[in-house]
Structure 1
């Protein structure tokens, strides 16, 4: 018992400096592959088990908050762990250190893509990688769906409805996510005040969201930094679940509404996120670069991560007291079911653009098979392997 108290005291006394924490997240952002679940696992292994900088209870609180709040899970967990002992400064510096390496990588790749995108070798790379990414998204959707829905028929109903809507309209609506969360919340954990406030709650809950959505649609002029900032802030504020949950949302806005990118350019942007370390959501930096150069990349990335940062540090002091209430948990479960439905629908929508012949179909199927059967293989390795295959196969089918 005395050992537990001593260990807890050491953690509370901050046995590490802010500089050490920043260096750790800088390294993790530079070499941390594997997606949000893997990155969260690295943080637990390194900061809780090995270094004992963070207590297990603080880590679990941070992970729960990251799962409840919208935004990229791994980045939000990093924000929270930086906040534990060093407050807002620690959260800010840890977050910047975590995101900066992958941001710089996607900017360099965006520059190369813009400069050499018309070259045959780059077309060959993305010919294979684009269809491989469809396989990765499909497998992620499968895992998320099994984990989220289980045997709950209500969640499966939400999933099927949103997936069908996404395929039919080739778009998604923020209101659908919020509606799914509210419906599931009312069904599973109806609040006592529901009868009294039912008429008022609907307008109150959606009013501010509607204002944000309308503000983001004020200008459709491509390349406008203000428009970019509003759109990506909305994306960052409504992404639940895996980082890939942002893919259908971005596809709707970037390709369908604003026409900033073509279908193929968008798939290439997702592929770039797969081959770089750090959060998958960093694809927004690449997209921003294609829209408006380095300024567009900076604004898009900042706008995406800022809501996640604020939604981490603002509720952090109150989360331990209120975060485990049933109503909050059921709302997030409903939203996550809708998100998995949107991802599954996006697999079909994007697949129609990317899988164009037998070789691309095989690339997607081989990716699925590898992820299903070979547990230790990582997405970046698969993507790099497919890029090499693309260099070989593309000239043979485009002669």
Structure 2
């Protein structure tokens, strides 16, 4: 007899998805505190296996862990309902914010709010990238080289190069596992998915949205922020669905809402094609995350610790971190255009360095107020 019912688990993730602020690290910490320590619904071993799988497979960390926890005792139905319950509240919130943004985006007060928020977001992403570097790269010279190459490439081309990230994963794999060359052929078909012509669905915007966001979801490792440079390259540079300010505002929305950061795709989808666009973008982004958790879950205990798999993911993660650094440069170059915005970003960075537990939504709120005051007194 399980210690909890499926209904209790769904209610828990609905609550966490509604009030869970702080990004992926905070969210997975809440799950450990609530489900392992307090309620003892799952064991420490189950939690650690879920964390390992979430870090190895593509997809936002917190959402994958929620799906895995649902799978532990209730298999497919548990994984599905837990994932939906965790994502649904933040999706509804970004829909509401998208509606407000579209209908009030031209008003001076809305522009002033996002002026301040956009500058603070640059600071927040900078610190998040710094934390990822410290946690993931360590003293490994090869990982540093991969990360630096991706940072420079993203900064110069203003888009994320998926092939370089995959090459980074392969480089670490080859370096740590010499025998990997013998099974290279088994990995070859995966990148081929990216070679599908972009104009295949050129007459159907929703189909184009779905395919683009499916690829985005398939290459997000660990932190939801890893999706930012990929989205920028496609949404702004290639398809030109949004302008640069709208994209930065979309990232800001993800920062001020609970739940996974990746939920910004719902906001972007709404701006591009309304409610249908939001639904398609969110579904397509989270589908790879769901499949990459549910399908390998039964076998992960046996194969998940294989050094070759870990080497591959370490290389891809290093590339994603570099791409985030490059994206910070690109977005900052466009958002930090005057002294007040630069000051907001720098103050945000200093506060996060000084007070490590400072809630990011509080900083976003203060930045919004600051933006209003700056525009009010300068007008």
Q: Which has the larger radius of gyration?
A: 1
Q: String of CA shifts for 1:234-290, please: whole Å, max 9, x gaps.
A: 000011121100000000000000000000000000000000000000000000000
Whether 1:81 aligns to 2:69 is yes
The answer to whether the aligner puts 1:99 opposite 2:54 as a matched pair is no
Per the alignment, residue 187 of structure 2 pairs with 205
Separation in structure 1 between the aligned mates of residue 194 and residue 311 of structure 2, nearest angstrom:
24
Question: 2:223 aligned to 242, 245, 253, which one?
Answer: 242
* In structure 2, C-alpha distance between the alignment counterparts of 1:352 and 1:189, rounded to whole Å: 40
- How far does the alpha carbon of each residue in 1:301-336 deviate from its partner, in whole angstroms, 9 at most, with x for none? 010101100000000000000000110111111111
Query: Paired residue for 2:271, among 290, 293, 316?
Result: 290
**Contact preservation (8 Å) 2:344, 2:367:** yes
**From 105, 116, 126, the counterpart of 1:128:** 116
Residue 187 of structure 1 pairs with residue 183 of structure 2: no
Once the two structures are TM-superposed, the CA of residue 207 in structure 1 deviates from its matched residue by 3.3
> What is aligned with 1:354?
335
> 2: distance between equivalents of 1:228 and 1:213?
16
Q: Report matched runs for 1:286-365 at 5 Å.
A: 286-365=267-346
CA distance in structure 2 between the partners assigned to 1:220 and 1:213 by the alignment:
15
Unpaired runs of 5+ in structure 2? none
- Return closer, same or farther for 1:383/1:339 CA change in 2, 3 Å cut-off: same
Q: Please say if residues 145 and 340 of structure 1, whose CA atoms lie closer than 8 Å, have aligned partners that are also in contact.
A: yes
Shift of 1:211: 3.0
Match of 1:266?
247
Does residue 218 (structure 1) correspond to residue 200 (structure 2)? The answer is yes
Q: 2:262 pairs with 261, 267, 281, which one?
A: 281
Q: Distance in 1 between matches of 2:2 and 2:170?
A: 40
Contact 1:125 1:388 in 2 (8 A): yes
Alpha-carbon RMSD: 1.3
C-alpha distance in 2, partners of 1:49/1:213?
Answer: 46
Give unmatched runs, 5+ long, in structure 1.
Answer: 1-12
Task: Provide TM-score, normalisation by structure 1.
Answer: 0.93
| Aligned residue pairs, count | 379
| Shift, 1:15, TM fit | 1.1
Q: Is the 8 A contact 1:215 1:230 kept in 2?
A: no
Q: What pairs up with 1:30-69 in 2 under 5 angstroms? A: 30-69=18-57
Distance in 1 between residues matched to 2:190 and 2:297, nearest whole Å: 22
Superposition TM-score, scaled by structure 2 size = 0.97
Q: Is the 8 A contact 1:288 1:298 kept in 2?
A: yes
Structure 1 residue ranges (4+ consecutive) displaced by more than 3 angstroms after TM superposition: none
